[in-house]
Amino acid sequence: MAALTAALDISDLVVTYDGFRALDGVGLTVRPGESFGLVGESGSGKSTVLRAIAGLAPVESGSIAVEGVPVGRRRDKAFYRRVQMVFQDPYGSLHPRQTVDRLLAEPLAIHGFADAERRILRALDEVGLGSGFRFRYSHQLSGGQRQRVAIARALILEPSILLLDEPTSALDASVQAEVLNLLEQIRRDRKLTYLMVSHDLAVIAHMCDRLMVMRGGKTVEALAAGDLASRNAHEPYTQRLLTASEGFVRDASAAAGEA
């Protein structure tokens, strides 16, 4: 039986900013429908991986393939139909002078969709907001509601892959739980692939099937999520991360709240 084409396949990725090597030969493979986590201390390069995939970081060398299709220097519309990104800060990722309706309609207009009305209503319903939020501005929304709008905007083109850059770190604990449950439900319903960055090992253990630990722009080791719970890490750096996050291992309801 032939192996499935990887949803994401990255090899020997190098990203340099003004002489500083933010990524140094990073590689990973994410299977279709999988949720894959990236963890590490601040500055480890985990968010840079997402930005490189999305075309927001200067890739010096290496290769990126999405669903078997090599990604060039420039991202075209077909790429953004398949891959969307949800950023860390819902306060900064939404235009303050645009209504929710405009925020959701814009990508549909760019990509030439004719059924904008149906897609906007579906997206709002899917993230638990409903049509009552359609003509509000972002300053009229709570942080959790803004992040739901950001997720709706990412979903509206029906991508197969979401890049999630600390999607709940700017939210308080109770709202984090709601948004994580929402993301997990959406992945199941749509059979999406996630590549998720988080500093919270509890979030990664709950949300992801596998993960990669990063430090200084390099891969430290790859683990299954179950290895976190059993503390089955081989590298001293990963063991130190586990110790620093003592108490992070929780059951699913504690890690992400009740749905």
**What is the residue extent of each domain of the chain?**
34-54+76-256
What's the CA gap between 79 and 132, in Å, rounded?
32
What's the CA gap between 169 and 85, in Å, rounded?
15
What's the CA gap between 123 and 120, in Å, rounded?
5
Per-residue confidence (pLDDT) for residue 248, from 0 to 100: 47
Per-residue confidence (pLDDT) for residue 230, from 0 to 100: 78
Per-residue confidence (pLDDT) for residue 122, from 0 to 100: 92
| 73 in Cβ contact with 59 (< 8 Å) | yes
Going by C-alpha positions, the residue among 118, 129, 197, 100 that lies closest to residue 158 is: 118
Per-residue confidence (pLDDT) for residue 3, from 0 to 100: 64
Per-residue confidence (pLDDT) for residue 29, from 0 to 100: 97
Going by C-alpha positions, the residue among 107, 18, 19, 10 that lies closest to residue 50 is: 10
- Which three-class secondary structure string do you get for the chain? CCCCCCCEEEEEEEEEECCEEEEEEEEEEECCCCEEEEECCCCCCHHHHHHHHHCCCCEEEEEEEECCEECCCCCCHHHHHHEEEECCCCCCCCCCCCEHHHHHHHHHHHCCCCCHHHHHHHHHHHCCCCHHHCCCEHHHCCHHHHHHHHHHHHHCCCCCEEEEECCCCCCCHHHHHHHHHHHHHHHHHHCCEEEEECCCHHHHHHHCCEEEEEECCEEEEEEEHHHHHCCCCCCHHHHHHHHHCCCCCCCHHHHHCCC
Per-residue confidence (pLDDT) for residue 8, from 0 to 100: 97
Residue 145's Cα: distance from chain center in Å?
17
Going by C-alpha positions, the residue among 14, 15, 13, 8 that lies closest to residue 37 is: 8
Mention every residue, 6+ apart, whose C-beta is less than 8 A from residue 128.
148, 182
pTM of the model: 0.90
Q: Which residues of the chain have pLDDT under 70?
A: 1-3, 246-259
Q: What is the CA radius of gyration of the chain?
A: 18
Residue 233's Cα: distance from chain center in Å?
24
CATH superfamily of 34-54+76-256: P-loop containing nucleotide triphosphate hydrolases (3.40.50.300)
